[in-house]
Structure 1
Amino acid sequence: MTASTTRRTTAASSRIAAVGAIAVAGALLLTGCGDQTKSKDNGGSSSAATSKAPLFSKLPKAIQDKGVIKVGSDIAYAPVEFKDKDGKTAGIDPDLADALGKQLGVKFQFENGTFDTLVTGLRAKRYDMAMSAMTDTKDRQNGVDSDTKKKVGEGADFVDYFTAGVSIYTAKGKDQGIKTWDDLCGKKIVVQRGTVSEDLAKKQSEKCGDKGKISIEAFDTDQQAQTRLRSGGADAGSSDFPVAAYAVKTSGGGKDFQIVGEQVEAAPYGIAVSKENTQLRDALKEALDAIIKSGDYDKVIAKWGVEAGAVKEAKINGGV
């Protein structure tokens, strides 16, 4: 989740987490509590709806009645969110959503979409929120296109829940001297469209001068970008550090890629909520603070080996 529209529409702020080894995904645990109405897992995190949950009363009445929060997510960004071997939605975000669901007493239903359409889907009310390794930036908060700096919508509010940075990775044993973004001048990089990685590549390319611009190939998903690099179609790739580290650890049994250089662009991941829906925003913040206090948050973060990106408290619109 490089993090720009913001992994990914995107302002050039991303996320720095000195993440260690990342655990391979297990099946998503479905949990419920109290007085519950069972609901079938539709590919998302689920907590059965119950008015006995500690923070159920904080939710908007419409969500209480439905018992479901619809979550827009690009479910192809392991280990943040992805489909496991059984086809279920798994990862850091779904596990955190499951913990939030226990506090709020509703099911979080993840719905797959391309990353750069998630904020649009939020505006169109297809989703109640978007949770997809999305970097909280001022441009996104204000509905400003990061490339043109023109206003394109009303923006969104963010409940910040994690911190990560952007990494560069190459084919293993073939770094071609690439250590920093400056070293990419005259070379080809693959990224996910609408991400902070794409923003950084564009900005760096403008600075390259006589070294030659960076050739940037952007894809709908990070997995497609990885496939292109794996096939020899580019010199390097870039994505959020947790994602790059996971690819390095798992692709080809750890034989395909290597991370080069240091992470850049530390920034928070945020849960995006419509600016009109302040009640849901505030309920999510309270639920996040509750799972941080209870230790459930730390359990999820430790499960995925991303402790360095943990936050100590929830913040609203903490991105810059």
Structure 2
Amino acid sequence: MTASTTRRSTAARSRWAATGAIAVTGALLLSGCGDQRDKVTNTDTSGKPPLFSLLPKEIQSAGVIKVGSDINYPPVEFRKGNEVVGIDPDIAEALSKQLGVRFEFSNGTFDTLLSGMRSGRYDIAMSAMTDNKGRQEGIDPDTGKKVGKGVDFVDYLTAGVSIYTRKGDTQGISTWDDLCGRKIVVQRGTTSHDLAKAQSKKCDKDGKKTISIEAFANDTEAQTRLRGGGADAGSSDFPVAAYAVRTSGGGDDFELVGEQVEAAPYGIAVSKDDAQLRDALKAALDAIIRTKDYEKVLKKWGVEAGAVDQATINGGK
């Protein structure tokens, strides 16, 4: 889900409403609401995985890290039949082998993930969430007021925001300036949503018609609206937009227009009160980068261009 105080640019990417726990360790297969476990490898001489001792004692005892995620954002995280697949679940699987605990994903709408984490429902949020100063500081993107303590991020991928249209019907749209007087569909609370609101204000300031913005709870709904002719364009993080262009209607529904903008890091969100868990996740991410497990995940999903060469804490601007 890119730069924003809410899911990219400076805002909050929309997605939540917890629906069920999905355990992530091996193939992330679902059987009802059950979880699947994978044999933990790479153990040290004590019989524990190499980074298990870095975790907080309560996580060690529980054997699980509870993850808040919007599992409807292909290819980052989504369901394929009874299986949960995607970039984030695969990275979580690799991290689990270093840390020796399961990553249990709970589905929710994007814009409530951080509040769910603050309430203790989740230990972390991992859902294509853009790391930016607004989220780090707990600032509401619309009001500019502080609404919470903010969170720390462990950055693991870089992605920008793209515009897409119905295939063969670009209507001359190639930049955000071209959207003045048009209708765009986005996922609520995302960087795309923030960019659309900011661009609409710019259109008005420049004496042009504003943008009509229709925001949905998830990106799939936004795509459906555009596909049916209910808007002129859509916008999502580049990996998501590119995946939709490649797969929707066998590649016949959409096309990307223009260049991606607002490139920024995706981060695993962790409470500022949980520095030990944050640092354990950073160590685990550095480990899978060294072992090439990270590289294998990105190649599998065709997002190698967004790779980072080391884990970073709060690298977003």
For normalisation by structure 2, the TM-score amounts to 0.90
Give the drift of 1:2: 4.2
How many Å separate the matches in 2 of 1:234 and 1:71?
Answer: 34
Contact 1:2–1:167 at 8 Å: present in 2 too?
A: no
Q: Corresponding residue for 1:36?
A: none
Query: Residue type matched to 1:285 in 2?
Result: K
Give the residue type in structure 2 aligned to 1:73.
Answer: S
Which SS does the other structure have where 1:269 is aligned? Answer: strand
| Residue aligning to 1:78 | 74
Q: Equivalent of 1:168, from 163, 169, 187? A: 163
User: Among 193, 196, 200, which residue is 1:201 paired with?
Assistant: 196
Query: 2 CA distance for matches of 1:165 and 1:43?
Result: 34
Structure 1 distance, partners of 2:166, 2:35, is 33
C-alpha offsets along residues 111-144 of structure 1, whole Å, 9 cap, x if unaligned?
0000000000010010000000000000000000
Provide the residue aligned with 1:91 in structure 2.
Answer: 86
Within a 5 Å distance, the mapping from 1:54-203 to structure 2 comes to 54-85=50-81, 87-203=82-198
| CA distance in 2 between partners of 1:156 and 1:257 (Å) | 35
Residues 1:6 and 2:17 are matched in the alignment: no
Q: Quick one: which amino acid aligns to residue 103 of structure 1?
A: Q
Q: Distance in 2 between matches of 1:166 and 1:13?
A: 14
Gaps of at least 5 residues in structure 1 are 15-27, 33-38
Query: Which residue in 2 is equivalent to 1:215?
Result: 212
Measured after TM superposition, the shift of residue 88 of structure 1 is 1.7
Shift in Å, 1:11: 1.1
Report the alpha carbon displacement of residue 62 of structure 1 after superposing the two structures with TM. Answer: 0.5
> Cα distance, 1:250 vs. partner?
0.5
Residue type at the aligned position of 2:258: G
Q: Equivalents in 2 of 1:127, 1:13: separation in Å?
A: 17
- Alignment partner of 2:291 out of 294, 300, 304: 294
Task: Give the % identical residues.
Answer: 70
Please give the alpha-carbon distance, in whole angstroms, between the structure 2 residues aligned to 1:229 and 1:288.
37
| Cα drift, residue 182 of structure 1 | 0.1
Helix, strand or coil: the match of 2:76? Answer: coil
- Report the CA distance between 1:147 and its aligned residue: 1.3
Q: How far off is 1:6 after superposition?
A: 3.2
Q: Which amino acid aligns with 2:135?
A: R
Shift of 1:211: 1.9
Change (3 A) 1:269 1:226: same
Paired residues, what number? 299
8 Å CA contact retained: 2:152, 2:271 = yes
* Cα offset, 1:7, TM superposition: 2.8
Amino acid at match of 1:227: T
Deviations 1:206-265 (A, max 9, x none): 011322000000000000000000010000000000000000000000000000000000
Shift of 1:146: 1.0
- 1:281 maps onto 2:263 in alignment: no
Does structure 1 conserve the Cα–Cα contact (< 8 Å) formed by 2:5 and 2:12?
no
- 1:42 offset after TM fit, Å? 4.7
Aligned to 2:19: none
Give 1:308 deviation, angstroms. Answer: 0.2
CA RMSD in angstroms, aligned pairs only: 2.2
1:248 to 235, 242, 245: 245
* TM-score, normalised with respect to structure 1: 0.89
Q: d(CA) in 2 for partners of 1:314 and 1:219?
A: 32
Counterpart code for 1:82: F
Residues 3 and 243 of structure 1: is their aligned pair in 2 closer, same or farther, counting only changes over 3 Å? farther
Q: Is the 8 A contact 2:6 2:130 kept in 1?
A: yes
Taking a change above 3 Å as real, the CA distance of residues 46 and 280 of structure 1, as seen in their structure-2 partners, is farther
Instruction: Check whether the contact 2:69–2:126 (CA below 8 A) recurs between aligned residues.
Output: yes
Partner secondary structure for residue 284 of structure 1 = helix
Paired letter, 2:143: T
Q: Output the CA distance in 1 between the equivalents of 2:261 and 2:12.
A: 9
Other-structure match for 1:272: 269
Q: Distance in 2 between matches of 1:232 and 1:191?
A: 14
- What is the CA–CA distance in structure 1 between the aligned matches of 2:95 and 2:112, rounded to whole Å? 24
Change (3 A) 1:171 1:115: same
Cα displacement string for residues 73-127 of structure 1 (whole angstroms, at most 9, x for unaligned residues): 0000000000012x22110000000000000000001100000000000100100
